Amino acid sequence: MPSRLLLFFLIFWGNLTNIYAQKYELGKVTVEELEEKIHPIDSAAPAAILFKVGKTVFNYNEKTGFSATHTYEFKIKIYKKEGLKWADQKVKYYVGYQNINEDMLSFSNAVTYNLVNGKIEKTKLENQGAFKRKINEYWNEKTITLPNVKEGSIIEYKYTLKSENIVQFPDFDFQFSIPLNYFEYITKFPEYYIYKTLLIGTHKIESDAKIVTGSQNFANEYGQSRTMSYKQIDALYSAKNIPALKEEPYVNNIENYRGSIKHELERVRMPEQPVKDFTLTWEGVSSTIFKDDRFGKEINKSSFLLEDVKKILSNVTSQEERMKIIFQFVQNKMNWNEKYGYFTDKGVEKAYKDQTGNIAEINFILLNLLKLAGVEANPVLVSTIENGIPVYPTRTGFNYVIVAAKMDEKEVLLDASRKYTSPDILPLNILNWKGRLIKSDGTSKEIDLVPSKSSKENASITFKITENGKIDGRIRIQRTDYEAYKFRVQNGSGNQESYLEKLEGQLGDLKISDYSITNKISNIADPIVETFSFETENFIESIGGKFYISPMLFYTPSKNPFVQENRQMGIYFGYPTQEKLLVNLEIPEGYVIETLPKSVRLALEDNSISLSLKVLNEGNKIQFSFSKDINNSIFAAENYNALKTVFQKMIASQNEKIVLKKA
């Protein structure tokens, strides 16, 4: 290895804390461990990982060169009934390679320990059997079920993954839904391979590395034994007391926050060979995808669409109208087969004939029609929320493709695969940071997926209170953009009777009449408007001849969604929103106001969230208005306490009552 590379590693690791691997071995179970009833730090934990030990080493074969072997050992304590599910262990492994052999995965050392009459009873998994199933063309999965697992048990197992893929290793996760007491991860990399190491999560990890001599014994093409020696970088990562990663409200993808260590190959320096650079850029990734026949060729197939585009665009000259007509045509004609991807499976021509296709096929048909109509349009690579936010350039960072149509100087984003999308209204799981727009010359650029415009839900309520405390009122609700899209996805295919029955229950067992709705499943680019009359005896308490009224009625929040003391993950709202409620209330005859809620305005320092409540009174009329503006789609965990406080104060104000007394 060149001296400057050695210096890089020595400097890099010299700034980290030196630690020494402790002895964490399978088969070393004590009576004290089995007697432990609750986790010493997290008493609510149903189980805990006592340790996870991993190792990645290289092997050499004369025919295939270097490959990697990853081994993982687990020791898990079961505390409660809810922890019994940890007896089932599933591991996915990749089989979708085109040029190398598929990964090989095997389980071993699977044992359950129980305390029986003060003695340790050991139950082995017979034959170390694992069940294999095919997930899709790229992934298989193996499963084992540990035997005789009960509350108090300790289970152990090991699995080994052998892979010829040395470009990108499996992530080493060290945070789970239960606490992890200790982990260590050892890597032994030959000097020929330079890896980029990335730490995901906020946990402090201790690390150490050193340069040692490594070697490989192998048989050459004549069956003779040979030894290869080289410099090797041995690294050790470890940490203690990693807390459970728990579900929190308003999280896009919990996997984005899971503590893990990632390695990706940057450079290969084999003896007497040119240096091979594996450092990818997003430009490089996009170019590679574009050159694939299932992408580049398919976005230039349009002859079979000529007759249809002439029919649907007869006498239409406006670029925007052409875009809308083509979008609706594809949306109505094509049916999504529920397969993601940015490559076609059967090709756009056959998908068009079948009227069914995957995401790429449907949106490439849209793209080709737009280009035939003279609309400038390009594909946009996207990672869905479930696929995560790619932290470095890689082809697997994308799993979806949409279309960007240029209208004047603005890119309008389109996805015709779903029935309730519209121009610039995408499926919610596509609103994931940034996409990559690829132009016909192979160049690319970043493009924002999260909208800057607020989606609105505005409601106005007018109601009267009768002398016996009954409410008669009427409400109008208007939803725009993503608020309308969400409503259509949830309610578009249902019948009105069942919807109203559900709505009456959701709004507090009131009675709805004179219901009407516009643009529920038609004119889907327009707002949805609901109107209905209602009557209820809820939301008013009669105590000592006084009426205590919740002025926001069924919009009164019951509790703060943010109740955790601390927050590990960012707060994700999906898209900017504006919520407004205007209430006009008529006081019953013979009553006067004793108390009104106070007007209040609350906001974060940068006004990224603002909430206001206003109360006005004139004669026998009370007007109550509430507004909430969330101007960002996501907030960092550091903003959690401020956000929690703002919501808590506003909820307290929203729950203040109007008090009426007899005149």
Range in 22-26, 200-204, 247-251, 455-459 with the lowest mean pLDDT: 22-26
Residue 177: strand, helix, or coil: coil
pLDDT of residue 399: 94
The Cα 512–Cα 532 span in angstroms is 7
Q: Which residue has the higher pLDDT, 12 or 195?
A: 195
Query: Which residues lie closer than 8 Å to 322 by C-beta, 6 or more apart?
Result: 313, 316, 370, 373, 374, 375
Sheet of strand 577-586, all strands in order from the earlier edge strand to the far edge: 511-518, 528-536, 471-479, 455-465, 577-586, 621-630, 609-618, 600-603
pLDDT of residue 452: 94
* Amino acid at position 334, single letter: M
pLDDT in tens, 527-558: 999 999 999 999 999 999 899 999 999 999 98
**Which range among 261-270, 407-416, 640-649 shows the weakest confidence by mean pLDDT?**
261-270
| The pair of three-digit structure tokens given for residue 67, joined into one six-digit string | 């490959």
Contact yes or no for 285/394 (Cβ under 8 A):
yes
Token pair recorded at residue 88 = 């089932």
Question: Following DSSP, what letter does each residue of 248-310 receive, concatenated?
Answer: -SS-S-GGGGS-EEEEEEEEE--TTS--EE----HHHHHHHHHHSIIIIIGGG--GGGHHHHH
pLDDT at 288: 86
DSSP string, 539-557: SEEEETTEEEE-TTGGG--
CA distance to 56, 168, 189, per residue, from 5 (Å):
21, 21, 14
Average pLDDT for the chain: 92
Q: What is the pLDDT of residue 128?
A: 60
pTM for this prediction: 0.88
Band the pLDDT of 609: cuts 50, 70, 90.
very high
The predicted pLDDT at position 12 comes to 37
Phi, psi of 620 (to 5 degrees): -95, 20
Closest by Cα among 646, 644, 586, 656 to 617: 586
- Answer whether residue 6 shows pLDDT above 60: no
Assign 127 a pLDDT band (cuts: 50, 70, 90): confident
pLDDT of residue 223: 79
Q: How far apart are CA 123 and CA 176, in angstroms?
A: 25
| Three-class DSSP category at 339 | coil
> How many CB atoms are closer than 10 A to CB 414?
28
Residues with Cβ within 8 Å of 461's Cβ and at least 6 positions away in sequence, in order, are 473, 474, 475, 553, 581, 582, 583, 584
Band of pLDDT at residue 99, cut at 50, 70 and 90: confident
CA distance 68 to 166: 6
CA distance 437 to 441: 12
If you count them, how many residues does the chain have? 663
